[in-house]
Amino acid sequence: MHELSIATAIVEACVERAGSDRILRIRVEVGHLAAVLPDSLRFCFELCAKGTTAEGAILEILEIPGRAVCEACGESILLSSPFGRCACGGKLEIVAGQELKMRDMEIA
Amino acid sequence: MCTTCGCGSNETTIDGAKVHVDGSSAHDHSHSDAHTHEHSHAHGDEHGRLHHHGTASAHSRTVSLEEDILAKNKLLAERNRGWFAGRDVFALNLMSSPGAGKTSILERTIRDLQGEITIDVLEGDQATTSDAERIRATGAHAVQINTGTGCHLDAHMVAHGVERLDLKQGTMLMIENVGNLVCPALFDLGEHVRVIVMSVTEGDDKPLKYPHMYRSGQLLLINKLDLLPYVRFDVARCISNARQINPELEVLTLSAEKGDGMRDWYDWLRTRYPRRRVA
């Protein structure tokens, strides 16, 4: 359900920056470890954008896979959940997959 | 959108009153105190900083944003943190599933530490003021935030709730989040510590099921220890599961009902907040 808050934040920030221009497309990065469901976010975005300059805009979601580096052996590992240990027993530092970021937007 | 602090009109209420019913003019929260909850919006400047590069079509253009989606919440959370620091307020964000015993822990803590630590409470629930009333019955100040359909508190709600609470210098602020193990994890409120509460009736695999929440906390309280003989719950396995997600997580076991383990929790609070003022 927090996707609604996230969609609201995207629409508010983009509408403010777009001024009187119409928003055609917004590109956001959503990491696999960010606890945000892309489908749910798209659904909420459509609702939030209604009646604003972002109405009808395409929300393009770039999904970023989770990746961690072992602090002990330096091995790079793909992660599907935000925890885990390296095969060597070392602690993992998550280096990608937690993104929740607005990249750019197309306006006219 | 509210012209004072940028919040959209929504269904959030604080002690039953709308936070912002109409954003066009009336903004009834006063900033007469030292509250540095600034409301500046550099709109003109914002547009000036846009980078225009490339055109996707003859009439459209691409504008770089490169911004965290939750940037606004993070900014408001930092303002809250600064405001707390200015008043020597120690803020804790208590999160759990519904019914884990957050309010019961608070009731007992407030009563037991009366005269030693002043504790004020922000209560977050979708509806009803019953939790704030329970807290007020202990003699502590409490403000109820009702989020309507909202599933978590955010930094903005906390800023307004704290205004209403009129916190005194050196107070410990307990923020009881909406009972939910998913959404609150994403929203920084400006707290100093995140405390996760779970109870032995919930299952010792809970940390594995809600890794985002367990990763975000610093302390885990395992409550309802008195019910341990009646449920299938392995405390050691639960702690091991929690540390698999968050190796640095501190864990305390207690019973708010019977009082077991509460002293350790109080010692933890005393250690984390040694500059407490005597009430």
ipTM of the prediction: 0.88
Q: What domain range is A44 assigned to?
A: 2-66+97-107
Looking at chain B, the whole-number percentage of residues with pLDDT higher than 70 is 81
Q: Does residue A55 belong to any structural domain of this protein? A: yes
Whether the predicted pLDDT of A36 surpasses 90 = yes
CB atoms near residue B58 (< 10 Å): 6
CATH number at residue A7: 3.30.2320.50
Q: What pLDDT is attached to residue A39?
A: 95
- Tell me the per-residue pLDDT of A73-98, one tens digit each, with 9 for 90 and over: 999 999 988 888 888 988 889 999 99
Surface of A (53-92) touching B: CB under 8 A: 81-83, 85, 91
Q: Number of structural domains, chain A?
A: 1
Model confidence band, residue B15 (pLDDT cutoffs 50, 70, 90)? confident
Cα–Cα distance for residue pair B26/B2, rounded to 1 Å = 9
Whether the pLDDT of residue A1 is over 80: the answer is no
Contact criterion met (CB < 8 Å) for B8 and A12: yes
> Does A47 lie at the interface with B, CB-CB under 8 angstroms?
no
CATH number for the region B75-272 comes to 3.40.50.300
Q: Does B279 have pLDDT greater than 90?
A: no
Residue B230: which residues within 8 A CB-CB, separation 6 or more?
A: none
Span B201-220, mean pLDDT?
95
Partner residue facing B72 (CB), from A13, A35, A36: A13
**In-domain check, residue A73:** no
Whether residue A47 has pLDDT greater than 70:
yes
Structure confidence at residue B36 (pLDDT):
41
Domain ranges, ordered by start, for chain B: 75-272
At residue B119, the pLDDT reads 96
Could you report the per-residue pLDDT of B220-254, keeping only the tens digit for each?
999 999 999 999 999 999 999 999 999 999 999 99
Is the CB of A104 less than 8 angstroms away from the CB of B64?
Answer: yes
Question: What is the per-residue pLDDT across B24-54, written as a single tens digit (0 to 9) for each?
Answer: 333 344 444 444 444 444 444 444 444 444 4
Which residues in chain A (17-46) have CB-CB distances under 8 A to chain B?
17-19, 24-26, 28, 35-36
Which residue in chain A has the smallest CA separation from B208? A83
- Give me the mean pLDDT over the A26-50 stretch: 96
In a domain, A61, yes or no: yes
Phi, psi of A93 (to 5 degrees): -110, 120
Question: According to the model, what pLDDT value does residue A45 have?
Answer: 97
Distances in Å between the Cα of A56 and the Cα atoms of A49, B1, B261 are 7, 20, 56
Residue A71 domain flag: no
Any idea what DSSP says for residue B27?
Answer: -
Provide the 8-state DSSP code for A106.
Answer: E
Judge whether A34 lies within some domain: yes
Average pLDDT over residues B243-267: 96
Instruction: Flag whether A81 is in a domain.
Output: no
Q: Predicted confidence band at B111 (pLDDT cuts at 50, 70, 90)?
A: very high
What pLDDT was estimated at residue B19? Answer: 72
Helix, strand, coil: what percent of chain A each, to 5?
25, 35, 35
**Any alpha helices (H) in chain B, and if so which ranges?**
43-48, 71-86, 102-112, 130-136, 155-165, 206-209, 211-216, 235-245, 262-272
Torsion of CA A107, B1, B5, B9, to 10 degrees: -140
| pLDDT at A102 exceeding the cut of 80 | yes
Give the pLDDT band of residue B141 (cuts 50, 70, 90): very high
Residues B231, B209: Cα–Cα separation, whole Å: 19
- Please tell me the predicted confidence (pLDDT) of residue B20: 56
| pLDDT at residue B30, as a whole number | 42
Question: Is A49 within a domain?
Answer: yes
Q: In the prediction, which pLDDT does B58 show? A: 60
Query: Does B16 or A101 have the greater pLDDT score?
Result: A101
- Closest partner residue to A91 (CB to CB) among B56, B73, B247 is B247
